[in-house]
Amino acid sequence: MKVLVTGAAGFIGMHTSLKLVQLGYDVIGLDNINAYYDKSLKYGRLKELGVQQEDIFYNKVIQGKDNFKFVELDLTDAGNLMALFAMQKFDIIINLAAQAGVRYSITNPNDYIESNIVGFFNLLECCRAFPVKHLLYASSSSVYGNSSNIPFNTDQQTDDPISLYAATKKSNELMAYTYAHLYHIPATGLRFFTVYGPWGRPDMAYFLFTKSILEGGPIQVFAEGKLQRDFTFVGDITESIARLINLPPINESLCRILNIGNSKPIAVIEFIQILEKIIGIKAIKEYLPMQDGDVELTYADTKPIEELTGFSPCTALSEGLSKFVSWYRQYKHL
């Protein structure tokens, strides 16, 4: 089957593309390679997929390694996106392209409307024009807001997002439901819980902590490190996605939402202690108040996805962080 992975130069997108290529899928990766963070990291990820920076031209499909191809394209470019669908006749869509970051959404709201709302709408329109067997798309644990219903389950209400990023992800779920209902597009929304691992995003806390600790600088610890997060290793995310591809929803609505998390929330201060032990250096901590848009706790109920696929994330935090730190040292030539 032919699979489109959007956001393929991103963190989860690269790992998902690698996983699917290994499983024998024909994969076309799409990314706009924007400047939200250092582009060299994105080009480095693409190199892992056999794509060289000098070969990339906008709206040109180029060959990577094995059965992977890549096209630089923005989801807001509706005309060229529709033309790509017409030419490729995709079976499966995995939408991992989005403007990420809770705090960044407070200072740069327009980027979230363009990427996460307009871009996703264009993708849905393409799926309507050229029907697919299954649309899987990234949502986020942030849609739960500061819910007191623990652990978070997909049956509870998510009507109180506390950041624009969360609001756009909730909007994606509603849009997908509407298109599934009206145009019979089987759609699965995936609420990711604090994904980490090699080739991660440099704006994420674990990446920033590692960089600062190794450089001898201070790390910023918000809310005294008491915030709890359900850290989920990227390899568990890709395994879950791979198992879901051939399991489209067959209920009346043709639409469902699933959590993908480790179901073991841990306080950020404890997370830092594990990281310190792995690196072998004590962090210099700068304590700051809780930031706007942050939530106090994330905790995934993963029983539905486990019952559906026979798998739920299981990588221990110490194991996953060790893999990240090893990658970081190698990537930075330390």
Q: Could you read off the pLDDT of 6-39 as tens digits, one per residue? A: 999 999 999 999 999 999 999 999 999 998 899 9
Query: What residues form DSSP beta bridges with 30?
Result: 6, 71
Does 235 or 295 have the greater pLDDT score?
235
Q: How far is CA 184 from the centre of its chain?
A: 25
Q: Which two tokens stand for residue 224?
A: 């005294």
Averaged pLDDT, 259-264: 95
Helix axes 119-129, 164-183, angle to 10 degrees: 10
Q: Could you read off the pLDDT of 166-189 as tens digits, one per residue? A: 999 999 999 999 999 999 999 999
The pLDDT of residue 148: 83
Averaged pLDDT, 209-231: 94
Query: Rounded to the nearest 10 degrees, how much is the dihedral formed by the CA atoms of 142, 143, 147, 150?
Result: -80
Q: Is residue 131 part of a domain?
A: yes
DSSP-assigned states of every residue in 100-146: --HHHHHH-HHHHIIIIIIHHHHHHHHHHHS--SEEEEEEEGGGGTT
Averaged pLDDT, 70-75: 98
- Let me know: does 283 contact 276? Beta carbons within 8 Å: yes
Averaged pLDDT, 276-294: 91
The pLDDT of residue 154: 95
For residue 4, the SS3 value is: strand
Q: Is residue 104 part of a domain?
A: yes
Q: Is residue 14 part of a domain?
A: yes
Q: The pTM is what?
A: 0.96
The pLDDT of residue 328: 98
Give the list of residues 6+ apart from residue 184 with CB closer than 8 angstroms, or none.
131, 254
Q: Is residue 210 part of a domain?
A: no
Q: What CATH number has the domain bearing residue 8?
A: 3.40.50.720
Q: Is residue 45 part of a domain?
A: yes
Q: Which two tokens stand for residue 173?
A: 């779920």
Res. 257 pLDDT band, cuts 50 70 90: very high
Does 291 or 173 have the greater pLDDT score?
173
Say which amino acid occupies 170: K
Q: Which two tokens stand for residue 132?
A: 């697919």
Percentage of residues in the chain with pLDDT exceeding 70?
100
For residue 12, the SS3 value is: helix
Res. 108 pLDDT band, cuts 50 70 90: confident
The pLDDT of residue 146: 86
Averaged pLDDT, 289-308: 89
The pLDDT of residue 292: 78
Q: Is residue 213 part of a domain?
A: no
The pLDDT of residue 205: 92
The DSSP H or E segment spanning 241 is helix 234-244
Averaged pLDDT, 190-219: 96
Res. 296 pLDDT band, cuts 50 70 90: confident
pLDDT at 126 over 90: yes
Q: Is residue 211 part of a domain?
A: no
Say which amino acid occupies 132: V
- Residues carrying an active site annotation: 165
In which domain, by residue range, is 174 found? 2-193+233-261+299-313
The H helix count followed by the E strand count for the chain is 12, 14
- Count of structural domains, the chain: 1
Closest CA to 297 of 227, 221, 192, 195: 227
Helix axes 268-279, 205-215, angle to 10 degrees: 40
Give the list of residues 6+ apart from residue 334 with CB closer than 8 angstroms, or none.
214, 328
Burial class of residue 83, CB neighbours in 10 A (0-12, 13-18, 19+): middle
Query: In the chain, what are the helix, strand and coil shares in percent, each to the nearest 5?
Result: 45, 20, 35
The pLDDT of residue 147: 87
Q: Could you read off the pLDDT of 222-245 as tens digits, one per residue? A: 988 999 999 999 999 999 999 999
